[in-house]
Amino acid sequence: MKYVVLLLIVALVLYVMSRKRAAPPPPPPAKPPPAPRIEGIVACERCGLHLPRSEALPGPGGELFCSPAHRDAGPPG
Ligand SMILES: [Zn+2]
């Protein structure tokens, strides 16, 4: 009876070892997220305030302004 228990323990150890060896490899690391898009900064033609290009208001001559008031006022001078 003692040998039967010993045999069962050995079989269990061998079974666990074989399962560990057959484990699938870990998944590859996830791709890093894409770098955030860098937006250009422009200066208001009227007051010189710096703001993102997407928030700037284009003037009639292609200039960029920070607000409708400065766009309507136009460039200084
Ligand atoms: Zn301005």
Residue 19 counted as domain residue: no
- Summarised one tens digit per residue, pLDDT across range 5-16 is 788 887 888 888
CA-CA-CA-CA torsion for 3, 6, 8, 13, nearest 10 degrees?
-150
Give the integer Cα–Cα distance in Å for 77 and 74. Answer: 9
Arithmetic mean of pLDDT, 53-70:
95
Q: Is residue 22 part of a domain?
A: no
Ligand 1 center from residue 37 Cα (angstroms): 25
Q: The domain containing residue 59 runs over which residues? A: 39-77
Is 30 contained in some domain?
A: no
Q: Is residue 24 part of a domain?
A: no
Centre of ligand 1 from the C-alpha of residue 36, in Å: 27
Say if CB 50 and CB 43 are below 8 A apart.
yes
Distance CA 75, CA 47 (A): 9
**Within a domain: 5:** no
What's the confidence (pLDDT) of residue 43? Answer: 97
Please check whether residue 31 lies inside any domain of the structure: no
The model carries a pTM of: 0.52
Segment 17-38, tens digit of pLDDT: 887 777 677 788 889 888 878 8
Task: Kindly give the distance from the C-alpha atom of residue 30 to the centroid of ligand 1, in angstroms, as a whole number.
Answer: 44
Within-domain flag for 55? yes
Q: How far is the CA of 47 from the centre of ligand 1 (A)?
A: 4
The span from the CA of 52 to the CA of 36, in Å, is 14
Indicate the number of domains in the chain.
Answer: 1
